[in-house]
């Protein structure tokens, strides 16, 4: 998907909501657990209920890969069901030596037809280059995450005074452009967003952690927006597990609508 189309969808819907389809069969309504294709049936109802209020869906691949071939098939069918108007993210956190990364890219961009994939920066440019070479596909680099372990490496101060995550943003932003490269910034790191925007003012940010993880949408929008909005704010559990009963889809729709209504105030 081209950046211009993503920006158009955001402005048309007055929404920068990304719904995370991190579907856990232990948490869905009981009805789906006994169904041979229950995870896909659940996902389809969530997509139907929320598609008018979001611009993107993110699939955390671990929830599907853990089920083996059955889960991979469910991920493929779910991805195919997402409307082409919506930005489709594979939250896979891949990256390896160049030849291996080229096959990761082929799997997620060609076989599964995702628009974007999350990757880790640790192995350097040659591990990321195969993803960036795909036209109209996006590489989403881990920047500053919300987990406690971010303290171990991402927030280390280097000898030149930069924090490690700042060095990652500066370096990686030169490998691609704001047309094919995004960065992950956790919503609970909102205090760093103003600084991040000094380093990468024009890139889109994928922001998980709003909702169940306690991140503030107001803070994220206040400090993280750019002229194109520049944000995809992800909510997973708060939406897809809004209710565990028969009306789970309508409850998910209600929460997605609430997010959209909250986001509308940030559009001029």
Residues taking part in catalysis: 93
All residues at 6 or more sequence positions from 182 whose CB lies less than 8 Å from its CB, including other chains: 116, 138, 139, 140, 141, 203, 204, 205, 206, 232
Residue showing tokens 């081209």:
2
What is the CA angle 12-76-186, rounded to 5?
55
How far apart (Å, rounded) are the C-alpha atoms in residues 83 and 239?
18
How far apart (Å, rounded) are the C-alpha atoms in residues 223 and 230?
11
Long-range contacts for 252-255 (Cβ within 8 Å, ≥24 apart)?
252/46, 252/49, 252/50, 253/49, 253/50, 253/53
Contact 146, 213 (CB under 8 A): yes
Write the CA distances from 65 to 69, 92, 141, integer angstroms: 8, 10, 21
Q: Which of 223, 215, 227, 228 is nearest to 259 (CA)?
A: 215
Alpha helices by DSSP H, 30-114? 30-33, 38-50, 62-65, 69-81, 98-105
């Amino acid at each position: 998907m081209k950046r211009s189309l993503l920006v158009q969808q955001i402005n048309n819907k007055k929404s920068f909501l990304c719904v995370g389809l991190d579907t856990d069969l232990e948490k869905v309504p009981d009805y789906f657990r006994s169904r041979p294709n229950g995870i896909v049936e659940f996902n389809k109802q969530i997509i139907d209920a929320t598609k008018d209020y979001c611009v993107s869906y993110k699939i955390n691949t671990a929830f599907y890969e853990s089920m083996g071939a059955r889960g991979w098939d469910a991920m493929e069918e779910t991805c195919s069901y997402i409307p082409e108007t919506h930005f489709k993210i594979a939250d896979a956190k891949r990256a390896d030596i160049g030849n291996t990364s080229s096959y990761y890219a082929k799997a997620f961009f060609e076989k599964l037809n995702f628009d974007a994939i999350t990757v880790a920066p640790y192995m350097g440019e040659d591990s990321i280059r195969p993803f960036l070479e795909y036209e109209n596909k996006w590489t989403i680099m881990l920047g500053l995450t919300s987990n406690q372990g971010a303290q171990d490496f991402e927030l280390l101060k280097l000898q030149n005074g930069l924090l490690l995550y700042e060095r990652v943003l500066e370096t990686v932003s030169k490998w691609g452009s704001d047309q094919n490269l995004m960065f992950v910034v956790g919503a609970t790191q909102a205090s760093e967003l103003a600084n991040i925007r000094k380093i990468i003012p024009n890139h889109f940010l994928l922001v998980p952690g709003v909702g169940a993880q306690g991140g503030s949408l107001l803070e994220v929008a206040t400090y993280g927006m750019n002229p194109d909005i520049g944000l995809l704010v992800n909510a997973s559990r708060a939406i897809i597990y809004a209710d565990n009963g028969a009306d789970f889809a309508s409850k998910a729709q209600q929460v997605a609508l609430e997010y959209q209504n909250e986001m509308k105030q940030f559009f001029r």
